[in-house]
Chains A and B, each alone.
Chain A
Amino acid sequence: MRVSFNEIEMTVLKAARGAGMEWGLAEEAAQCARWLALFDLPWQRAIVAVLQARDWYGEIVRDKKAIRPVSPNDRLCPIKAGAFLSDLGGDGPGLIERVRCPMLLLPFAARLAGLLRLSWKEARIWLDSGRPAVGGDLADLELSYVDQVTIEDAACLDQPVLMRISDPSVDLNLWRKLKMLEARTYVPASLRSRIGGAGPTAGDND
């Protein structure tokens, strides 16, 4: 189904909130999905996986080089880790360890200045002033988990940057999963809310 970018953003915002994310992180998830959709990167499966895994409750430890989950059994939520990277600007670490759906880190890294290269397994992604170029093994782009993501300055682009698209579409099954999470943010009508109402107190036939 064709959707708009605004629908993607708003659906993911509410789905993330419905999944239990704090509002500020849900906003990050929404922008993340919108950015990936803008470049026609496969965001849906990854977002749904992350919202179902709910890793954002886990604690993160940082040293000079890397961030990783405190517990060896935990995985990093890429939204939480990505938001941290974005917050730090250029001061962030170069290694992100034990992270779920690493592709979701891209929109956050894209906010950093300059020409960067992110790599995991055989996937290579360059970010040139916020625009992505994809190389290496494309199958690895969508990995659901990797032990390590490297972020480093790059000297030049090996691939052309992706063009923005204008007509994003979604997989209906995955979209429905998001809509089910979104529905958790809605309040059913109660007798009192109907009485208090949002409408006028007089009729509209005039």
Chain B
Amino acid sequence: MSEKTAPADVPLRSPDQVMRLARLGSMHQTRLSFLRALLRRMRSENWRVSSNSFDLDERGVGTAIYTVGVGERWYSLVAFGHELPAEKRTDRVIAEEWDATFVLYDGLPDDDAVDRLKANVPLQEAGRYRESELVLARANRSVRLFDHVVSALCAGSQPDPALVESTGYLMRTTAVYGNGKFGLADRDLICGRPEFADPFRAEMLTVYLIRLFTVDLVEHLARRRGGATAVTLEPTIRRRFGIGNSTGLGMAPFLVRHPSLLDRWVLARETALARARSRSRAEPRHGRLLRDLLNSSRRIVGDWVSEDPNQSQRIARLITDLYKLERFVAGTLFDETRPFDRLYRFAEAELSLEGQEYCVTLLIEVNGDIVDELADTMAVDEAETFRIDGTMKCGELLQLVHDCYGWALAFDFGDRTARARFWYTSEEKLEPRLGERFHEPGMECEQPLAVARDIVAIAAALARAAPDETSASFLLAQPQYRHVARRIQIAARHRYSEIRDNLIDATMRPIDILRCKLAFFGAARFDPRSDRWVRITLFQGSPFPDELDADWDRWPFAP
């Protein structure tokens, strides 16, 4: 039996270990992350990306269209450049104007379609969209770097590499919407297409094309302003521009609301780790590769800057962890059996959570040949897990609570700090928010995200019910437990479906949830701006469409 098909001997890590916020909030991108899987597909299927029109003035105001050919289908990024006064530049969702706005169009838009988009896309949430529009997004300039780059190119020189590295992007997206928002196409409409079957592929493609737009834009502005003296970006510097992203609480509830999907994501990652750890022997190339990756990781992590004191400490500790890993790898590790398992166990014993999860990223990276296919297992049809099996007896349901939610039953919700917060949706911007239960109004509008508390409540109710009563009749009489009964039955079949922490605790850090989701997207350089707001970089170092055939596969570790 080949290694690829052999069952993993090392078991999956337990959900009690993996699904804690502290660990989820220490995750890093991997080969399975969505943007990396997207680029692999783009390369293997020879997607054809081209700039169709670029009609922007010297201020960057106008329209650009990029097209992507995927087999017989076409997609277009329609980009609108705007002039934005500094006082209106905010990354928060409450903004009403942006430096640029974008839509991913299903096909090739004709003039009428572009006119319609021009009337709506700049309005973002206030516009209306059709099923021909797949993704809506907007971005703001990193003003300092943007202006520096344009000035430098204008004067015939390259931008300062240190400045480029310290920011890492020319624009950062402040929202990327898909799946039917504001009339956009529903995911159901495109999930049957192989290129968009896996999660967030259309969104990732949009961001990748926005990145292309940002570097084309600075070159264009330099040309318009500098004329003959203007130069274009050197390819090595050009690749150092990723796309920034600012993300707040709006993203956090997603992972809680989609338990079976979260399970698929984590299961793929954990399966990849288990396969790597189960590899009986390493070949010399594995050792070389791992040492190379560790070498570049030291530089990458060294460039990772955060003003957040907590994150700064974690980064410093991660650098120490990387030295420890290097020393361990330099020994006789690769002469022994199951070297990757030994490496992982070393990490677990000796490193911080950041370091342990970075080690997971490295192990997955080195074992691409046996894990890449898992990127195609990360979608789920949630309709299949929606129906409650009401023939299940209350006694069985209670047993499932004890089997799957022991972690939740351990919390004491009599303690006010354990229920200090509540999730709600703000009337102002229709976005998720976290309130202080005992100090703010609105508790009656609490969203059903207090999973642990609701589990404790249903457990008490089930303990009072007759064990042979059907859950159908239990829920008929007590519908307040219905949403959580559904979760229990999902959790019984999806071990990684729940974040195993109290999401309304006074000390809960929402950015841990954000980071987990963003790591699955493929984000890097997490920079918390508060405990509920984080900046990240996407696609930094990745090849541009015309470079996808080069030696590109390990671009997150590229020098």
Contact = CB atoms under 8 A, between A and B. Distances in A.
B433 A205 contact: no
Contact of A4 (B167, B185, B388): B185
A22 B483 contact: yes
Interface stretch (A80-88, A96-104, A114-122): A80-88
Interface stretch (A42-50, A132-140, A148-156, A180-188): A180-188
A62 B475 CA distance: 14
B327 to A, nearest CB: 38
Nearest to A112: B387
Contact of B183 (A7, A60, A91, A184): A7
Given A4-B184, A84-B476, A86-B387, A199 B425 contact: no
Contacts of B472: 84, 87-88
A67 to B, nearest CB: 9
B505 to A, nearest CB: 16
Contact of A22 (B91, B94, B479, B533): B479
A185 B445 contact: yes
Contacts of A27: 386, 482-483, 486
A5 interface: yes
A4 B425 contact: no
Contacts of A111: 387
A2 B307 CA distance: 45
Interface in A65-107: 80, 83-84, 86-89, 91
B52 interface: no
B90 A186 contact: no
B144 A83 contact: no
A163 to B, nearest CB: 14
B435 A187 contact: yes
B181 A6 contact: yes
Contacts of B445: 184-187
Contact of B130 (A2, A193, A206): A2
Interface string A1-21: 111111100000010000001
Nearest to B441: A190
Given A6-B180, A25-B482, A166 B131 contact: yes
B254 to A, nearest CB: 13
Interface string B227-252: 00000000000000000001011100
Contacts of A24: 475, 479-486
B433 A187 contact: yes
A27 B484 CA distance: 11
Given A7-B180, A193-B433, A205 B530 contact: no
A198 interface: yes
A189 interface: yes
A31 B480 contact: no
B424 interface: yes
Most central of A56, A60, A184, A198 by chain B CB within 10 Å:
A198
Contacts of A197: 530
Interface residues of A, number: 51
B249 A198 contact: yes
Contacts of B427: 183, 186-189
B439 interface: yes
Contacts of B428: 188-189
A199 B530 contact: yes
B529 A201 contact: yes
Contact of B90 (A5, A190, A196, A204): A204
A193 B142 contact: no
Nearest to B485: A24
Contacts of A205: 86, 89, 143
Contacts of B391: 87-89, 91
A193 B94 CA distance: 14
A25 B181 CA distance: 23
A20 B533 CA distance: 32
A167 B142 CA distance: 38
Interface string A142-167: 00000000000000000000000011
B179 interface: yes
Nearest to B95: A204
Contact of B92 (A31, A183, A199): A199
Interface string B452-473: 0000000000000000001111
The 4 residue pairs across chains A and B that have the minimum distance between CB atoms: A24-B482, A87-B390, A6-B180, A187-B442
19 contacts: A2-B130, A3-B183, A4-B181, A4-B186, A7-B183, A23-B482, A27-B483, A60-B476, A80-B476, A84-B476, A88-B391, A88-B472, A89-B389, A167-B131, A187-B426, A192-B436, A198-B248, A198-B533, A206-B143
Given A84-B472, A89-B390, A200-B530, 6 more contacts: A27-B483, A186-B430, A199-B533, A201-B530, A205-B143, A206-B143
